[in-house]
């Protein structure tokens, strides 16, 4: 193999490798959003879902759900509790999202909005309870006000428990209104109140992603338009955000999630902040006036599309506008006077048909007129080479859109065969965002799909083709990102977690190796002057990193035999005598990572010694190797 290190062919966009985030598989509520209380504001369709009354002894107690809907409240329900605990105990138990993950020695912040409705002196005794019924943390709180008021108290856990519950006991005699009963670990990512689970964000930060796409996925569209994602309902005071049923609230037999709602505690402000924290460009995707076409296929009439377009304009103002503007001021009030510097915006997710092509130009015109530098991402859907996909691609190309978002959930072989996919793409047309992809070990949407090494290896091979064509492919992201082991609807997924633990799949390590070793320019890596994309079961690409003056070579060996190869570096520059090598491999293509063995398939680092300008490598069977050497 030869690397023409002095002949860069393309600039690699800083956005090249990124993250696709969607609240699917309990990715947000019950996942990265660190709230431990399920249905904290009693707004799930069954108001007491997640809560149980508990009486001990001869205590009296009752809980009534009250609703201030008529006042136009966005969080209309609260509970009215009447209790007399003289002869026992009365309380409410919250089960959490598949339990609550509690860690010994850690502090938890309990908070609640209360309103005293009479002169009585009902106080709250808070307990964390393990599966044996033992108390592993406690605190007391005395409601003080006749008007709604938020009060907080902290408790420290005395034991670790993956399936804890929260008990709120009512002590004394009297009445009390309560809302937004909440419990967060203090130790969230960057210790932020209303924050994110630190271990999960760390896994994202470790990838050094170029962008963060949010909030999905199909949840952008909603099953019906009424449950579409509306960013304006996800910003401002947390207690005033209006929740909706999650589009992934399913009745699938093997993975029912009737308790899946979007509380929007993690809303657009928090997504922008997350992107900033992990050094990623924010890429919000907005509804284009069409609901999920896999469900209701509802569209808003053309005559009523304006508010949807206004939402897009207002979002740009929210992200970038001065603090004198309405939405820029809200961003500042929420704690971020500096703009988020939004450069990319998506309109529509997996939409199809003439309705999309009819609506899209209206968004494009309005956005480009007001914000000409914003690059727009438009979707051609999820059926590469299918009729629908081709129709959209053709039309989006003729509309000369900025970036086309292509999705592929296909068999591992498809990924190998498509390592050439972009080699002959039109260089003058729209750029490509490989916005959702994942090799499917069984079949798309099969619950038996595994994040096995075979799939990850095929993705690694395919990604050499994305990298080689970085002049046309500007962005790529695996999907979906997260899955709770006890609350998923879709597999495979990049990162699995439960209430206390998390691990990256082999696919995660492939993504991370590409992203961390992204480089700034593509240089040709050839065999007999041809791109290496399947000859002798090898797939390869190479980049320069001008920031560190290094050459990076990526080689995938999909053969079940070891192969020896020489990489000859053609360069006028001096080449380092040694380099670093990361190898990701497994003898068994079925290998998966797991909670028990989270790094079974993960990169091993070693050094390589060069012979002059040659790197001699013995590529293990079914392996992915990344080599970095200095050029000076
Ligand atoms: O990633 C899961 C789903 O797959 C996304 O929500 C959707 O865009 C695609 O069909």
What SS3 class is residue 149? strand
Structural fold of domain 2-10+523-631: Immunoglobulin-like (2.60.40)
Task: Look at the block and give the residue holding tokens 């049923």.
Answer: 245
pLDDT at 553: 98
DSSP state of 13: P
Q: State whether the beta carbon of 490 lies less than 6 angstroms from ligand 1.
A: yes
Domain ranges of the chain: 2-10+523-631, 51-185
The band of 51, judged by pLDDT with boundaries at 50, 70 and 90, is: very high
pLDDT at 241: 97
DSSP state of 289: S
pLDDT, tens digit, 9 for 90 and up, residues 317-364:
999 999 999 999 999 999 999 999 999 999 999 998 999 999 999 999
pLDDT at 220: 97
Buried b (16+ CB within 10 A) or exposed e, 31-66: bbbbbbbbbbbbbbeebeebbeebeeeebebebeee
pLDDT, tens digit, 9 for 90 and up, residues 407-459:
999 999 999 999 999 999 999 999 999 999 999 999 999 999 999 999 999 99
The band of 475, judged by pLDDT with boundaries at 50, 70 and 90, is: very high
Using the predicted structure, report yes or no on whether residue 297 has a pLDDT greater than 90.
Answer: no
Q: What is the mean pLDDT of residues 42-65?
A: 97
Q: Sort 68 into a burial class: Cβ within 10 Å, 0-12 / 13-18 / 19+.
A: exposed
The band of 255, judged by pLDDT with boundaries at 50, 70 and 90, is: confident
Task: Look at the block and give the residue holding tokens 């990076």.
Answer: 552
State the maximum Cα–Cα separation within the chain, in Å, rounded to a whole number: 88
Distance 217 CA to ligand 1 centre (A): 5
Using the predicted structure, report yes or no on whether residue 253 has a pLDDT greater than 80.
Answer: no
Helices (H), 371-435: 387-398, 412-417
Nearest CA to ligand 1 atom 1: 480
ipTM over 0.95 threshold: yes
Q: State whether the beta carbon of 477 lies less than 6 angstroms from ligand 1.
A: no
| DSSP structure string for 72-127 | T-SS-EEEEEEEE-TTEEEEEEE-BTTBEEE-TT-EEEEEEEEEE-SS---EEEEE
Task: Look at the block and give the residue holding tokens 């992200």.
Answer: 319
Using the predicted structure, report yes or no on whether residue 120 has a pLDDT greater than 90.
Answer: no
351: its two tokens: 């939409």
For ligand 1, pick from 350, 444, 445 the residue to mutate: most ligand atoms within 8 Å of CB: 350
Using the predicted structure, report yes or no on whether residue 243 has a pLDDT greater than 90.
Answer: yes
pLDDT: which is higher, 168 or 253: 168
Nearest CA to ligand 1 atom 5: 217
Distance 445 CA to ligand 1 centre (A): 10
The band of 384, judged by pLDDT with boundaries at 50, 70 and 90, is: confident
Can you tell me the distance from the alpha carbon of 233 to that of 224, in angstroms, rounded to the nearest whole number?
Answer: 17
Do the beta carbons of residue 455 and residue 507 sit within 8 Å?
A: yes
User: Does a cis peptide bond (omega within 30 degrees of 0) precede residue 492?
Assistant: yes
Nearest CA to ligand 1 atom 4: 217
- Rounded to the nearest angstrom, the gap between the alpha carbon of residue 258 and the centroid of all alpha carbons in its chain is 21
617: its two tokens: 């490598």
Nearest CA to ligand 1 atom 9: 217
The yes or no reply on domain 51-185 and CATH 2.60.120.260 is: yes
Q: Which atom of ligand 1 is nearest to the CA of 22?
A: 6
In 10 A of CB 175, how many CB atoms?
A: 18
Do the beta carbons of residue 406 and residue 473 sit within 8 Å?
A: no
The band of 55, judged by pLDDT with boundaries at 50, 70 and 90, is: very high
pLDDT at 477: 98
From the list 233, 209, 205, 228, the residue with the least C-alpha distance to 217 is 228
Q: State whether the beta carbon of 22 lies less than 6 angstroms from ligand 1.
A: yes
Can you tell me the distance from the alpha carbon of 555 to that of 424, in angstroms, rounded to the nearest whole number?
Answer: 21
Helices (H), 432-527: 453-468, 506-516
Q: State whether the beta carbon of 405 lies less than 6 angstroms from ligand 1.
A: no
Do the beta carbons of residue 168 and residue 151 sit within 8 Å?
A: no
Q: Which atom of ligand 1 is nearest to the CA of 20?
A: 1
Using the predicted structure, report yes or no on whether residue 254 has a pLDDT greater than 80.
Answer: no
Mean pLDDT of the chain: 96
Do the beta carbons of residue 196 and residue 294 sit within 8 Å?
A: no
Q: State whether the beta carbon of 216 lies less than 6 angstroms from ligand 1.
A: yes
* Percent of the chain predicted with pLDDT > 90: 95
Q: State whether the beta carbon of 130 lies less than 6 angstroms from ligand 1.
A: no
Distance 553 CA to ligand 1 centre (A): 32
For ligand 1, pick from 349, 435, 436, 491 the residue to mutate: most ligand atoms within 8 Å of CB: 436
Long-range contacts of 224-228 (CB under 8 A, 24+ apart): 224/291, 224/295, 224/296, 224/298, 225/287, 225/289, 225/290, 225/291, 225/296, 225/298, 225/299, 225/300, 228/287, 228/291
632: its two tokens: 């000076």
């Amino acid at each position: 193999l030869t690397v023409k290190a002095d002949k860069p062919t393309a600039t690699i966009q800083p956005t090249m490798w990124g993250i696709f985030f969607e609240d699917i598989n309990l990715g947000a509520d019950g996942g990265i959003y660190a709230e431990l209380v399920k249905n904290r504001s009693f707004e799930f369709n069954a108001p007491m879902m997640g809560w149980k009354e508990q009486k001990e002894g001869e205590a009296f107690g009752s809980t009534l759900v009250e609703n201030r809907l008529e006042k136009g409240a966005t969080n209309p329900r609260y509970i009215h509790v009447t209790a007399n605990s003289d002869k026992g105990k009365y309380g409410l138990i919250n089960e959490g999202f598949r339990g609550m993950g509690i860690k010994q020695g850690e502090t938890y912040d309990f908070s609640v909005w209360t309103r005293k409705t009479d002169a009585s002196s009902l106080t709250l005794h808070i307990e964390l309870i393990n599966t044996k019924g033992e108390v592993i943390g406690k605190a007391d709180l005395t409601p003080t006000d006749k008007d709604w008021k938020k009060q907080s108290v902290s408790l420290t856990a005395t034991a670790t428990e993956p399936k804890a519950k929260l008990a709120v006991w009512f002590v004394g005699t009297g009445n009390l209104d309560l809302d937004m009963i909440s419990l967060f670990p203090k130790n969230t990512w960057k210790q932020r109140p209303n924050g994110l689970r630190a271990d999960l964000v760390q896994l994202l930060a470790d990838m050094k992603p170029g962008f963060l796409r949010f909030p999905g996925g199909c949840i952008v569209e909603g099953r019906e338009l009424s449950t579409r994602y509306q960013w304006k309902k996800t910003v401002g005071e947390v207690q005033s955000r209006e929740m909706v049923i999650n589009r992934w609230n399913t009745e699938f037999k093997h993975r029912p999630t009737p308790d899946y709602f979007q509380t929007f505690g993690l809303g657009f402000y928090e997504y922008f902040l997350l992107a900033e924290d992990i050094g990623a460009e924010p890429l919000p995707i907005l509804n284009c006036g069409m609901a999920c076409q896999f469900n209701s296929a509802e569209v808003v009439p053309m005559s009523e599309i304006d508010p949807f377009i206004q939402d897009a304009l207002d979002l740009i103002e929210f992200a970038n506008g001065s603090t004198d503007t309405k939405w820029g001021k809200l961003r500042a009030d929420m704690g971020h006077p500096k703009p988020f510097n939004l450069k990319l915006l998506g309109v529509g997710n997996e939409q199809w048909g003439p309705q999309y092509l009819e609506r899209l130009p209206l968004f494009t015109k309005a956005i480009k007129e007001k914000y000409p530098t914003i690059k727009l991402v438009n979707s051609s859907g999820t059926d590469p080479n299918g009729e629908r996909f081709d129709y959209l691609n053709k039309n989006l190309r003729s509309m000369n859109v900025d970036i086309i978002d292509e999705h592929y959930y296909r068999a591992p072989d498809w990924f190998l065969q498509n390592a050439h996919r972009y080699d002959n793409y039109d260089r003058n047309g729209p750029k490509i965002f490989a916005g959702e992809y994942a090799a499917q070990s069984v079949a798309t949407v099969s619950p038996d799909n595994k994040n096995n090494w075979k799939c990850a290896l095929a993705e690694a091979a395919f990604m050499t083709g994305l990298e080689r064509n970085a002049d046309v492919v500007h962005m790529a992201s695996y999907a979906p990102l997260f899955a709770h082991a006890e609350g998923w609807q879709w597999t495979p997924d990049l990162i699995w977690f439960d209430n206390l633990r998390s691990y990256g799949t082999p696919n995660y390590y492939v993504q991370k190796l590409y992203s961390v070793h992204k480089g700034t320019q593509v240089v040709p890596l050839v065999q007999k002057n041809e791109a290496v994309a399947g000859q002798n079961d090898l797939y390869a690409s190479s980049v320069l990193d001008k920031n560190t003056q290094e050459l990076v070579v990526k080689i995938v060996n999909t053969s079940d035999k070891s192969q020896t190869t020489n990489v000859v570096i053609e360069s006028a520059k001096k080449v380092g005598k040694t380099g670093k090598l990361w190898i990701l491999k497994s003898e068994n293509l079925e290998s998966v990572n797991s909670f028990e063995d989270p790094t079974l398939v993960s990169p091993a680092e070693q050094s390589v010694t060069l012979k002059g300008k040659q790197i001699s490598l013995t590529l293990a069977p079914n392996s992915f190797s990344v080599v970095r050497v200095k050029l000076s």
